Amino acid sequence: MKAWQHFKTITTHRWIVRGACFRMGLIWQGLTHDLSKYSPTEFCQGVRYYQGVRSPNAAEREEKGYSEAWIHHKGRNRHHYEYWTDMNSKSRCYESVPMPRRYLAEMVADRIAACKVYEGEYYTPESALRYLMRSKEKDLIHPQTRKELEFLLTMLRDEGEEKTFHYIRTRVLKGKPFPWEEEPGNH
């Protein structure tokens, strides 16, 4: 039973992300989003730790001190900020690097879908922003990426999906500057 429930959860999540990506013009990313969740490494752990109200990775992490499924997942899916770390050649420490805009856009879709799946009828356009602001992860994301993500999730809260996806499709994915990057008088 848990296998079927987990399958439905990840498939629903992918379906929601696919729709959002299509609306943003990210067809291939919409089609291939999170396919690794069906791999044995991720799927079997997902079934074992399935709860239905949060990511099974959190339960696996609580039991084992790490999540094998998450380690596998983040290394294969570029829409996670954790994928975007590399060694700084000067400090010789691993650091976050800015995410390319196409993966930032997919990350927005991913966060919306995760909130819709886990919050169900309690989901609001503020859910993804609220989750980000409550989490400690915001301190781990590259500052540029965090600023862009917060801007887009605030837009989602204030103006809704249609306007946010339009903005992403026509400005973010076209390489146009975010408002704070624009030179004064160039509007």
Residue 183: what pLDDT? 74
Does a structural domain hold residue 125?
yes
The SS3 assignment for 54 reads coil
Asked if 34 contacts 77 with a C-beta cutoff of 8 angstroms, the reply is yes
Q: Considering the chain, what is the average pLDDT of its residues?
A: 96
Q: Tokens 């069906």 — which residue?
A: 38
Total structural domains within the chain = 1
Q: pLDDT tens for residues 82-112?
A: 999 999 999 999 999 999 999 999 999 999 9
Domain region containing 154: 2-34+77-177
Asked if 127 contacts 119 with a C-beta cutoff of 8 angstroms, the reply is yes
Q: Kindly tell me if the per-residue pLDDT of 16 is higher than 90.
A: yes
Residue 101: what pLDDT? 98
Does a structural domain hold residue 70?
no
Q: Kindly tell me if the per-residue pLDDT of 185 is higher than 70.
A: no
φ, ψ of residue 103 in degrees (nearest 5): -85, -30
Beta strands per DSSP E along 111-156: none
